[in-house]
Amino acid sequence: MLNQQLVLYTEENGIAKITLNRPEALNALNRDVLEQLSSILDRIKTDPSVKAVILTGAGEKAFSAGADIQFLNKATPLEVREFAQLAVTVTNQIETLGKVVVAAINGFALGGGLELAESCALRISATHARLGHPEVRIGAVAGFGGTTRLPRLIGKGRATELLLTGNAISAEEAHRIGLVNRVVEHDQVLAEAERLIQEILSQSPIAVKLTWEAIHRGCNLTLEESALLGADYFGLVASTEDFREGTASFLEKTQPSFKGR
């Protein structure tokens, strides 16, 4: 673990845990936080020992309450734009990491904090968490990718309501509309995230990676193009040992042993 850092990092049994570490500020995002997070993500992307990632916040109150308002209030328009561009880079890093990232939402996930979670493959939320995009309430726009990813996650109509009203919703409502995948008690959020990751890691690593890539890339294509991309990946994965192992195990009614090659 990196001591006295705004972003903490640990790794155990192939699962990395990244913790936003400004609990006194509800893990608000400033340039230093985003730069440290970006650096860690760069390391993880090229580290073969890391198979999956959990992203969470320090303390019991917040995953992240969003961008640091004190900074925004004093920054020039150019500084705000550069800050948002850095945040967009980080969310793209998360989404294209090549490894499953699960957001363990341990409290408030608002504004830029929710945008970090939206860029993850999956989201686990504590029952007491509140999620929302309050940007319009301070005269701002969800500029870290929220106007792009939220409609893709929950549909244009629901996303528009959340983005235009600035209302925060409960974890249960977030689950009902598909914004989070599972809701558990606060003390079970990390454990549930790890259980979900272990379930995913029991599958073929190559199939998991290509499936997530097909989902991510396919969202930006037409229906036909996306389906053809899936067909291409289906053909690609057929060249792997895992594909032969998986199909043979199905026919023989045995448990497959995937090797990731």
Whichever domain contains 88, its CATH number is 3.90.226.10
Instruction: Give 10's strand partners.
Output: 17
Q: Which of 24, 79, 115, 172 is catalytic?
A: 115
172 in the same domain as 58 = yes
Is residue 189 in some structural domain?
Answer: yes
**Catalytic, out of 82, 118, 135, 225:** 135
**Do 191 and 245 belong to one domain?**
no
Q: Which long-range contacts (CB under 8 A, 24 or more apart) does 47-52 make?
A: 49/11, 49/14, 50/11, 50/14, 50/15, 50/16, 50/99, 51/14, 51/15, 51/99, 51/201, 51/205, 52/14, 52/15, 52/16, 52/99, 52/100, 52/101, 52/102, 52/197, 52/200, 52/201
Domain assignment present for residue 261? The answer is no
Q: Are residues 129 and 214 in the same domain?
A: no
Q: Does residue 129 sit in the same domain as residue 14?
A: yes
95 part of the active site: no
Each residue's pLDDT tens digit, 52-84: 999 999 998 999 999 999 999 999 999 999 999
**Domain tally, the chain:** 2
**Is 43 inside a domain boundary?**
yes
pLDDT score of 1 more than 80: no
Put residue 63 in one of left, alpha, beta given phi > 0 → left and psi -120 to 50 → alpha. Answer: alpha
| pLDDT value, residue 259 | 82
Task: Tell me, yes or no, whether 64 and 80 share the same domain.
Answer: yes
Report the pLDDT averaged over residues 20-48: 96
159 and 92: one domain?
A: yes
Mean pLDDT of 92-105: 96
What lies within 8 Å, CB to CB, of 14 at 6+ separation is: 49, 50, 51, 52, 201
Domain that holds residue 248: 205-252
pLDDT over threshold 70, residue 90: yes
Query: Any idea what the CATH number is for the domain that residue 230 is in?
Result: 1.10.12.10
Element (H, E) at 82: helix 77-95
Is 135 among the catalytic positions? yes
**Do 197 and 212 sit in the same domain of this protein?**
no
* 259 falls within a domain: no
